[in-house]
Amino acid sequence: MGRDRNRIDTECPQLKALDDRALTHVAEYFRALSEPLRLKILNTLHDRPHNVGELTELLDCSQANVSKHLAILMRHGMVERDAQGTSAFYRIADPRIYDLCDLVCGQMALRFASQAQLLGGRPTAMRARR
């Protein structure tokens, strides 16, 4: 039988090739993204590097909290630290992290829109046409 053309191919060859130890690392990577403050830090670093003091002010949280989360993001290779004089600036290590974020956020937006429609809400564009 032919393949359903409307079905999205969900098979992931890279995932199939990983052993249990590697899958544990993948799960830890995703776990690092499971904290809202870490996502806010990644979002804040999108445009330019920041030091801990700047991040603390921009995100309205303690220096210890920001430092703790930066250490986790560094451990997973999401951010890098550059020493500049007496300050350390943090930047995104690999901008492809935003591709992952866009994929997940896009999926969540579709899910929320679908749920709103099921609950009787109409998409914003439809309400604007009235």
Q: Which CATH number covers residue 33?
A: 1.10.10.10
Q: Same domain for 46 and 60?
A: yes
Q: Which residue has the tokens 């997940």?
A: 104
Q: Same domain for 90 and 35?
A: yes
**Residue 50 DSSP SS3:** strand
Q: 71 in a domain, yes or no?
A: yes
Q: Same domain for 82 and 109?
A: no
Is the distance from CB of 32 to CB of 25 less than 8 angstroms? no
Query: What pLDDT digit, counting tens, does each position of 33-77 carry?
Result: 999 999 999 999 999 999 999 999 999 999 999 999 999 999 999
CA 52 to CA 90: how far, in whole Å?
8
Number of structural domains the chain divides into: 2
| Mean pLDDT across the chain | 86
pLDDT band, very low/low/confident/very high, at 79 (cuts 50, 70, 90): very high
Confidence at residue 115, expressed as pLDDT on a 0 to 100 scale: 83
* Of residues 92, 95, 88, 44, the one with CA closest to residue 67: 88
Total residue count of the chain as it appears in this document: 130
pLDDT band, very low/low/confident/very high, at 13 (cuts 50, 70, 90): confident
Helix axis angle for 63-75 and 36-44, nearest 10°, is: 80
Q: Same domain for 69 and 100?
A: no
Q: Same domain for 82 and 107?
A: no
Q: Global pTM?
A: 0.75
Residue 42 structural domain = 20-94
Confidence at residue 59, expressed as pLDDT on a 0 to 100 scale: 98
Q: Same domain for 53 and 84?
A: yes
Q: Same domain for 62 and 118?
A: no
Query: What pLDDT digit, counting tens, does each position of 114-124 carry?
Result: 888 888 765 55
Does residue 20 come out as left (phi exceeding 0), alpha (psi in the -120 to 50 range) or beta? alpha
Confidence at residue 28, expressed as pLDDT on a 0 to 100 scale: 95
Q: Same domain for 88 and 38?
A: yes
pLDDT, mean of residues 80-97: 95
Q: 53 in a domain, yes or no?
A: yes
